[in-house]
Amino acid sequence: MKVVVTGAGGFIGTQLVRELCQRGTLALHPSGEVKISSIVAADLRIPEESRKGLPSWVSFVEGDLSTDEAVDSIIPQEEDFLLFHLAAIVSGDGERDFDLCIRVNLEGTVKLLDACRNSRGRARIVFASSLAVFGGEACPPVVGDETKPLPQTTYGMTKLAGELMINDYSRKDFLDGRAIRLPTIFIRPGKPNAALSSFASGLFREPLGGIDFELPVSREQGVPLLGYRKVVGAFILAMECDGEALGDDRVLTLPSRQYLVRDMISSLQGVAKEKGITLGKIIDQPDPLVIEVVEGWPIGTESKRAEALGMSADSSLEEVIEAYLDDFHEFPGRA
């Protein structure tokens, strides 16, 4: 079975492609174990770190996925295929450039879904949505599949619109779609990105790298966290599961655990001490824009449907910090 991954140059996309390569098969309902014959890893730009060490059956396509040409070049025309659609303008960039966010996240997603619908092959799709579909004054602190969404960013609005498309294209049997709502993902390696939740990774990554970190939110802020390994696992479980069994709503709110920023800091300090890592300093530097948006976000999730499919939150912060150190960290801050 062919697999297409958009956003393959991003953090989760890169990890997802690696995991798919390692597994080599997917346990697709109802057919069971299916061999992955090839992977098309697509994004506007795919950095060298995302390419290295991958087998020859992974090909890379760089292009603007909101254009017909790029979409046509990655969607198989004749055979059944699997599509993980992660490519998107992130929340901070979306607030700065409304038109870009609409073009890529909304029009681009419609283009991609239409290409899937028009393919003679049958498409099974997992769409990356986000807790950013929730917000507003009446938003409960804990959200789930039955909570009314009310986005407070253009990013969140386009993600919710994508969910609507996934549901309607599936209802019409144009394709077999599923969407998963990602909570705040950590620990993202590399440079900070333009997501408004970027601090939740930076808070760990920068000090572990021996770099001082300016904390833009209060230490009392709650954040619904999910480690990146669990997120990659959730994408795969969402692809493998029985779409029909999801019923008339193919959107799943992923599990997360709620932590306060100060708990995140003390877990970080605990792991650093144990591993002999000298941390960069964490400096309180409140950013009104980030605070306003983040305070409107939910701080926890209720995720029974996702959990029934085997998706789960991390058992501890330490588990994710240690995974990050194993996977990415070259210990520049180690004494």
Residues within window 81-100 making contact with a copy of itself, judged by CB under 8 A: 98
150 binds a copy of itself (CB under 8 A): yes
165 binds a copy of itself (CB under 8 A): yes
172 binds a copy of itself (CB under 8 A): yes
Kindly state the number of chain residues that form the binding site for a copy of itself, as judged by CB under 8 A: 28
62 binds a copy of itself (CB under 8 A): no
Q: What length does the chain have?
A: 335
Cβ atoms of 209 and 332 closer than 8 Å = yes
String of DSSP letters for 25-85: EEEETTTEEEE--EEEEEES---HHHHTT--TTEEEEES-TTSHHHHHHHS-SSS-EEEEE
In the complex, the smallest distance separating the C-beta of residue 244 from a copy of itself, rounded to whole angstroms, is 13
Beta pairing partners, 35: 25
In the complex, the smallest distance separating the C-beta of residue 93 from a copy of itself, rounded to whole angstroms, is 15
Is 228 catalytic? The answer is no
152 binds a copy of itself (CB under 8 A): yes
Q: How far apart are CA 190 and CA 175, in angstroms?
A: 35
Out of 49, 68, 168, 327, name the contact with a copy of itself by CB under 8 A.
168
Out of 40, 128, 157, 293, name the contact with a copy of itself by CB under 8 A.
157
136 binds a copy of itself (CB under 8 A): yes
Strand ranges, E, within 202-276: 213-215, 222-227, 251-253, 257-260
Q: How far apart are CA 244 and CA 254, in angstroms?
A: 19
327 binds a copy of itself (CB under 8 A): no
What's the Cα-to-Cα distance from 302 to each of 122, 141, 162, rounded to whole Å? 32, 10, 21
295 binds a copy of itself (CB under 8 A): no
C-alpha 253, offset from chain centre = 12
146 binds a copy of itself (CB under 8 A): yes
Out of 105, 167, 201, 221, name the contact with a copy of itself by CB under 8 A.
167
For the chain, the distance separating the N- and C-terminal CA atoms, rounded to the nearest angstrom, is 48
53 binds a copy of itself (CB under 8 A): no
Question: What is the amino acid identity at position 130?
Answer: S
3-state SS class at 286? coil
Q: Quickly count: other Cβ atoms within 10 Å of residue 66's Cβ.
A: 22
The contact mask relative to a copy of itself for 173-192 (x = CB under 8 A, - = no) is -x------------------
Residues within window 219-248 making contact with a copy of itself, judged by CB under 8 A: 247-248
68 binds a copy of itself (CB under 8 A): no
Nearer to a copy of itself, 40 or 196 (CB): 196
Q: What are the catalytic residues? A: 155
Which residues bind to a copy of itself, rule: CB under 8 A? 98, 102, 110, 135-138, 146-152, 154, 157, 160-161, 164-165, 167-168, 171-172, 174, 247-249
